[in-house]
Structure 1
Amino acid sequence: MKKYGFFSLLIAFVFLLTACGEDQAANSSSEGGEKKVYKVGIDTTYPPFEFEEGGEYKGIDIDLINAIAENQGFQIEFSPMDFGGIIPAMQAGQLDIAIAGMSITDERKKIVDFSDPYFDAGITLVVKKDNENIKAVSDLKGKTVAVKKGTVGAKFAQEHAGKEGFQVTQFNDSPAMFQEVVNGNADALIEDYPVIAYAIAQKELGLKVVGERLNGDQYGIAVLKGKNPELLEKINKGLAGLKKNGKYDEIINKYLAE
């Protein structure tokens, strides 16, 4: 009887050890398994925030979302597209995240949830370098203004066109918009200040910024409204971590150092 009881107890103990080992292995596999991959919508015609160089995506937004992903332990896959198509792509379930120099607006908040702001931007009026007649929006009567589709600049132009008496022409990307003014087909353009300031500093475009900034908007990282609060929390935690450890300033200064 004693032998049988001891043998039964031994088997039960071995079984218990095996089960515990399997649980630990499962937990280890779960913790050490592949990281979650999120699809990120970007617009690569938007330096210094997003551009392609030597077959690589570069810019403030690219470096920032990569650093956030590393900080929070997830992976990303970039999906470049026209800016105007990013939010529709999110609505269609093709993207998880959007980071594209996207201004935080009440209109967009109806569709997406924004992270904490990561950049103070603002739009500005731009003309040919030799243009001395246009110095403010009030000088645009009878003129043509170029804008980029789906942007805050485009919205501003459309809201003021009737009152100020100018026409609006829209483009899919910033370089085409710049060229329209350089070629004389449009009298002015409206662009995010850091974008045009960077473009003018990088090469001679034949353009100049005039007047004060037309608004004081901020950029945010977006996820589809109400669909992924956990991801938004990770983004905000990662952004806060980068600001705390100095990585955020390092990224900004890399592209916009005075």
Structure 2
Amino acid sequence: MSIPRRFFLQAGASTLLASLVHGCVQSSQRSLLSVDDSLLAQTKKRGYLLVVTEDDYPPFEFLVNGKPTGFDYDLLERLRKVVPFEIRQEIMPWQGILPGVAAGKYDLALTAVGITDERSKLLDFTRPIAESTIAYIKRKDDRSIKTLRDLSGKILGAQQGGVSLAAVPDLEAQLKQQGGAIAQVKQYRGFAEAYQDLLNGRLDAVLHNIVSLSVLVDEKPAIFELGERVSRKSYAAWAVKKGNQALLDLLNGFFSNLHDQGELKPLQEKWLKISFEHLPPQPLLPGDRPIQ
């Protein structure tokens, strides 16, 4: 902060110090989010807010030399600065995250969770942080796949228990209308293995969200090629246990502030290689959205 020279002429050192301290306190108070009493009690009982993130889901969250990084990690660091309690983070494979939050083992799935009708029965979602529509990726040199229709008779890869697997019925319905059908869908714990099988010819295409595939193609344009969207328009959000309204309100306030202050778009462009100007202010379930 720049202090005009005339200020020093008009005020003593003690007055200047008091003014600076007062200003910093006011700024700190303005930056803190309002926290519901029930959430404070909930956090006090555990001693901290416990969030869980995935370890292999770039660009949203992943590890570099054993340290967490990515879009969601940047958001976590900003969240830590505006809440009056400690936030601890655990990192684990995808398969244990949502069951852990639904059971109350963790307070928050701080990861890009695809919003589905089935998940909404056990979890509540924040306002979306990104689009998560499922598309496909293929090998650059594979000339047999040019349009969505060409996925008929092909072997596809999807994540076990993930939203890419949940998008398969939409794709099957579209292919059926054209007289086609998927040959097989192989399920993988992580996408790294699925991409490797794609390169080795064990798969013809991999289904994943449009953001992750866009980043991969941006990094390896000579190897992979992005295909069409295969499902209804969908979104990714953070998730809390069903009924934890106090935490949900806090997080939605956090995202609203980031959006209003112009901080969310630069983070999206940095990590996702795309920005989303008009995300809905609340989750929309797949049943509310037509197939693209």
Same fold (TM over 0.5): yes
1:211 partner letter: E
* Residue number in structure 1 paired with 2:141: 130
Instruction: Find the residue that maps to 2:144 and give its secondary structure.
Output: coil
* Aligned ranges 1:31-180 → 2 under 5 Å: 37-157=48-168, 160-161=171-172, 163=176, 164-180=181-197
Calculate the TM-score normalised by the size of structure 2: 0.70
Q: Is the 8 A contact 1:66 1:76 kept in 2?
A: no
Q: Secondary structure at the match of 1:147?
A: strand
* SS class of match (1:72): coil
- In structure 1, list runs of 5 or more residues that go unmatched: 1-29
TM-superposed CA distance for 1:212, in Å, is: 4.0
1:206-244 deviations in Å (ceiling 9; x for gaps)? 221122453321111110001x22111111111111112
Cα deviations by residue, 1:25-47 (Å, 9 ceiling, x for unpaired): xxxxx9xxx99522212112111
Percent of residue pairs bearing the same amino acid type = 28
- State the alpha-carbon separation in 2 of the partners of residues 137 and 197 from structure 1: 17
Tell me the C-alpha RMSD between the 2 structures.
Answer: 2.3
Where structure 2 has 5 or more consecutive residues not aligned to the other structure, the ranges are 1-39, 275-292
Show CA shifts across 1:125-162 (max 9, x none): 11111111113342223221001112221112256458
For residues 95 and 126 of structure 1, the distance between their equivalents in structure 2, rounded to whole angstroms, comes to: 33
Contact 2:80–2:86, Cα closer than 8 Å, also in 1: yes
Q: Give the alignment's TM-score, normalised by structure 1.
A: 0.79
Tell whether the 8 Å contact from 1:144 to 1:186 is kept in structure 2 after alignment.
Answer: yes
Amino acid at match of 2:113: M
Cα distance change, pair 205–70 in 1 and its aligned pair in 2 (3 A)? farther
Larger radius of gyration: 1
Does residue 241 in structure 1 map to residue 223 in structure 2?
A: no
Cα 1:237–1:36, aligned 2, differ >3 Å: closer, same or farther? farther
Residue 208 of structure 1 corresponds to which residue in structure 2?
225
